[in-house]
Structure 1
């Protein structure tokens, strides 16, 4: 009897578990289906919206906008990043869209670098040829946003003393950590190949080297000259007078009313009132569409080229690594790795329908080994078909290494390039161990087997060994550039040693072929191959799957991985130590600084 009761209970329990399992699976399937329907409806509804007659397109170009289009996860949804060139294409398309009345540049979200402002100028000028107006409006203006706003026909700012217009000149500050590291017991050995290859000097020195100061001053002065030239020509102000106003502080943190009085803007008006002046109906605002939303409309976004002939467009953006340091799609950032970029180049090279390759490089460098592998991949592709390079805001050090093997190189006037040199930064924590009372016992065979031991300082012989290693990498770097650019090594040495050049100067010395943007590179390739600009196809590979599991994993990772709220010198020390540990294993081809 007891056994019978147990059998019944067992059967009943199993039946309950089966029903619970089936119910759980059903609920999960329904939830997944609802999410898919929601995403699909959101995508469809955003694309189904029509552009009403008289619409103005608001153009935002924040400082973190990427050139490489990709997808990422945010707030449990799959997002597609609106890239810089999609926005430029949308601006040019809007010129032909009869429902678009004009553009409004959002001055509060114009943070792109000078080189990209040059590319934006080309698209804005094409738009203006349609006879439509371009306005710029915002609550504040700094040098970057104002320079972009100068592309408009009319600049409007909020008439409030709380709003700010400020063109103070240039200012760059670089923290040097030697004293802090000494107190913490950290020592950095920085090995480099020239007085201008100054990456890492902030860890080893207490103050700026003469090479760093000389080069930064030159680049900042060049950028200042370009800015004042643009303002003087666009606003009809005598340059000498403009420079005097900036240098004296007369244009620092002034009100929009003062800016208008000085002829720097056209009008002061609250944004909502300004919009009503654009409407054809009194008292009503015109229809407004965001540029990202407009760019995603099917009629605006360009479809992939098809047919027997096309030009491959490949993006190489971000720091260069041997392996993807962030395989998750959680963070909105782009990196360059051989496994991805070389596969794209090889795919385009082997495709008989692709007649030429254009690679857009926007990188300050990174791993020397990864740069060499990518460089060789480009050299191999050249054996089959023409390869052109379009340089973005920066294509320096490792970024220039990979570009140097192309048939033809285009750079913006204010692109930062060159930085031919190598650096190694080796941190050691012997002093930290001593402060913490840690005794390290070592067993060693082989003179250099303990060279990369974090717990001890480098010996003179070990430093000499590593210096010889990076000198060999430097020689290889120069040899690559010499053969790729047809410059003899003796002449090249005068351009190397870590020197950074602007695009126009790089043309003068032969590191670059001509000043031009991505459109110029594509036009040149179209002419070379006998194709048209409409025959461009974006080469994508190594794309990450957008699965439900990945989305859940990445969002949970974000929730679990929030950084500790440590502030002040301790936070700064920890962040710099983390950076040093990431870069200590290999020679680096990195530009030593960023320039906004």
Structure 2
């Protein structure tokens, strides 16, 4: 006779489990003959959070991790493309943007989001935004929605772009540090922070003109989305901080709601509490142990995917980000010449990669490293279509690497140009004497003074350094003129270190088109004569070794997105200090820099 317990176990195995979608059988039986419940309304939830990078490096923000925050960067283009894909979703579910968490997008990223939000509008999707205390970035995203709700005790910050430039001359004089600087060109914006106690009038006028052009795109975006006169938007920017009532009266929002949180507000808008929120950005992984080793494993191991062999025609987006430095090994937050050249050469050799878009987010850096990367890109362009797409900044060395005669796309808010170079050496003689330190420099000729910490360049050494800087600047002008099909004198007229917005650069012939990454990819595909193709982003994020490199390498801590968000309040201070620190670390002749100090933010 069969054991009753065994019979029960066999029965459990033989009876198939009911799918969850069939509901609860017990309640269904009781409800026989009664009216079926109406299906609950589905709402797609978009809730941006944290730092967004075009291509997150290593998958973590090291300073945020050390400060007890989540530490992970988010991939901007994954976010943006997911927004665009909602236009193709079947059904008429509303899309709810909960914009209460801290996040930030730069001007170039906001323009990319605007293009994708227009697809939702064209598809007839209902979009609702909820705000509490809205920053300028949060509001610009909200304004692109069909309906904007603002908590009654909250407010809106509607600001124009601004810059903060830190001048070091008085501080250097105070501590007894003298800088020897040689430069080229009639415009000295990059070196003014080291030479002058305050900004010159002509530099201020130049920056105001650039900010005006960048702000025109901000005003256009808000005015178009909210159907407000651009002059009204500009007057609201001058006020900057608006209460809920002021924002409603100005037409910036559609509705003031109680401060009850996003989900209760959504229920009030829908007229029902019976709705299901579905994460439109993808499912979140279940949290596990929070121990150190498990955190390290979660941060690095799952994210570090092996590069799969490509099986179909592909357009590669090569992200070239960070300060440009010489070297053979990678450093977080930097574009290191050796690894970057190797990555470019790999794309050139891959037969499945039919074309490449080089996406640049760099203020420049070493002139020699810039040239090594430019030549690698030139070799790549000789084999397959290559188009440049500029992000937030592609200036000085970041512009140098584009000088190969290929099309250049930039956003209206992009900062580019800064065609100029300089070299700098600190002299600590006064400081050393104050603290009782004396340097004896022993050499066979005056060339040893190049390495002295206490002595300034004499006239002969300064002249030799000026000759080297002149040669590199002449090279910069020559490659830019050839690339853009311009006379060298015409390039010189807009060079000298001047920075330009994307629209200003187009008017001066420095770029081809004001447009985003999608347009650049489309041009590559057209030139490659491919229609059905995949898009990949390179390089892939690294693992724990990349994290440690990012944390401790030169410029790594200053290069991560969240730290930069905080340092934006200090303007160009990190860029100024980076050049100063390198001049102390460098054991050879003074490095020649192609770098801009211009930092623009919506602050």
Same fold (TM over 0.5): yes
**Is contact 2:330-2:339 (8 Å) kept?**
no
> Equivalences for 1:549-560 in 2 at 5 Å?
none
Q: Residues of 1 paired with 2:557 and 2:400: CA distance?
A: 36
- 2:128 corresponds in structure 1 to 135
Which TM-score applies when normalising by structure 1? 0.78
Q: CA RMSD in A?
A: 3.6
Describe the shift of the 1:441–1:324 C-alpha distance in structure 2 as closer, same or farther (beyond 3 A). Answer: same
Preserved contact between residue 108 and residue 138 of structure 1 (Cα < 8 Å): no
Paired with 1:138 and 1:208, the residues of 2 have a C-alpha distance of: 38
Listed one character per residue, the Cα deviations across residues 518-550 of structure 1 (whole Å, up to 9, x for unaligned) are: 100111111111213642233437x64558xx9
User: Is residue 183 from structure 1 mapped to residue 174 from structure 2 by the alignment?
Assistant: yes
Does the CA contact (< 8 Å) of 2:47 and 2:101 recur in 1? no
Q: What does the per-residue CA deviation read over 1:108-130, in whole Å, with 9 as the maximum and x for residues that have no partner?
A: 54521222211111111122333
Matched with 1:307 is: 311
| 1:309–1:355 Cα contact (<8 Å) kept | yes
CA separation of 1:492 and 1:459: change in aligned 2, threshold 3 A: same
Residue 105 to residue 128, structure 1, CA distance change in 2 (3 Å)? farther
Matched ranges for 1:79-90 at <5 A? 81-90=73-82
- Cα separation, partners in 2 of 1:111 and 1:434, compared to 1, 3 Å: same
Judged with a 3 Å threshold, the aligned counterparts in structure 2 of structure 1 residues 480 and 222 are, in CA distance, closer, same or farther, namely: same
**TM-score using structure 2 length:** 0.77
Instruction: Work out whether 1:68 is the aligned partner of 2:78.
Output: no
Larger RCO: 1 or 2 (CA < 8 Å, sep 6+): 2
5 Å-filtered alignment, 1:375-390, equals 375-390=374-389
The 1:467–1:535 alpha-carbon spacing in structure 2 relative to 1, beyond 3 Å, is same
Partner of 2:114: 121
- 1:580 corresponds in structure 2 to 580
- The structural deviation recorded for 1:259 is 1.0
Q: CA deviation at 1:508?
A: 2.7
2:198 to 207, 213, 219: 207
Following superposition, the deviation at residue 159 of structure 1 comes to 0.8
- Is 1:257 aligned to 2:245, yes or no? yes
Shift of 1:562: 11
204, 215, 230: which is aligned to 1:224? 215
Aligned residue runs from structure 1 range 274-285, under 5 A: 274-277=265-268, 282-284=272-274
Provide closer, same or farther for how the CA distance between residues 277 and 56 of structure 1 changes in structure 2, counting only shifts above 3 A: farther
Q: How does 1:70-469 map to 2 (within 5 A)?
A: 70-72=57-59, 81-98=73-90, 101-104=94-97, 106=99, 108-160=101-153, 163-167=154-158, 169=160, 171-247=162-238, 251-269=239-257, 270=259, 271-277=262-268, 282-284=272-274, 286-289=276-279, 291=281, 293=283, 306-323=310-327, 327=331, 334-469=333-468
Question: 1:88 Cα shift?
Answer: 1.1
Are residues 482 and 489 of structure 1, via their aligned partners in 2, closer, same or farther at CA, if it must alter by over 3 Å? same
Any unmatched runs of 5+ in structure 1?
1-51, 328-332, 564-571
User: Residue by residue, what CA displacement relative to the aligned partner does 1:314-333 show, whole Å, maximum 9, x if unpaired?
Assistant: 11111111137874xxxxx5
Q: What is the alpha-carbon distance in structure 2 between the residues aligned to residue 241 and residue 309 of structure 1?
A: 49
In the alignment, the residues of structure 1 paired with residue 488 and residue 440 of structure 2 have an alpha-carbon distance, to the nearest angstrom, of: 47
The secondary structure found in structure 2 opposite 1:291 is: coil
Q: Quick one: structure 1 residues 310 and 295, their matched pair in 2 at CA, closer, same or farther if it must change by over 3 Å?
A: farther
Residue aligning to 2:563: none
Q: Distance in 1 between matches of 2:449 and 2:170?
A: 27
Size of the alignment, in residue pairs? 515
Aligned-residue offset at 1:590 = 0.8
Say whether the 8 Å CA contact 1:358–1:521 is kept in structure 2.
Answer: yes
Shift of 1:460: 2.8
* In structure 2, distance between residues paired with 1:256 and 1:340: 51
Q: Is the 8 A contact 1:108 1:141 kept in 2?
A: no
Q: Indicate the SS of the match to 1:339.
A: helix
2:32 corresponds to: none
Q: Could you tell me which runs of 5 or more consecutive residues in structure 2 were left unpaired when the two chains were aligned.
A: 1-39, 287-301, 559-571, 585-589
CA-to-partner distance for each residue in 1:38-86, whole Å, 9 max, x for gaps? xxxxxxxxxxxxxx97242224265x42111443466699986421111
Partner of 1:495: 494
Deviations 1:355-385 (A, max 9, x none): 2121111111111111000000111112212
* CA distance in structure 2 between the aligned counterparts of 1:201 and 1:487, rounded to whole angstroms: 29
Distance 2:350 2:402 in 1: 21
Change (3 A) 1:313 1:254: closer
| C-alpha distance after superposition, 1:84-137 (max 9, x if no partner) | 111111112223334864141516545212222111111111223332222222
Q: 1:59 to 1:589 in 2, by over 3 A?
A: farther
Q: Which 10-residue stretch deviates more, 223-232 or 572-581?
A: 572-581
Find the aligned partners of 2:453 and 2:275 in 1 and give their Cα distance: 64
- 1:389 Cα deviation from its structure 2 partner: 0.8
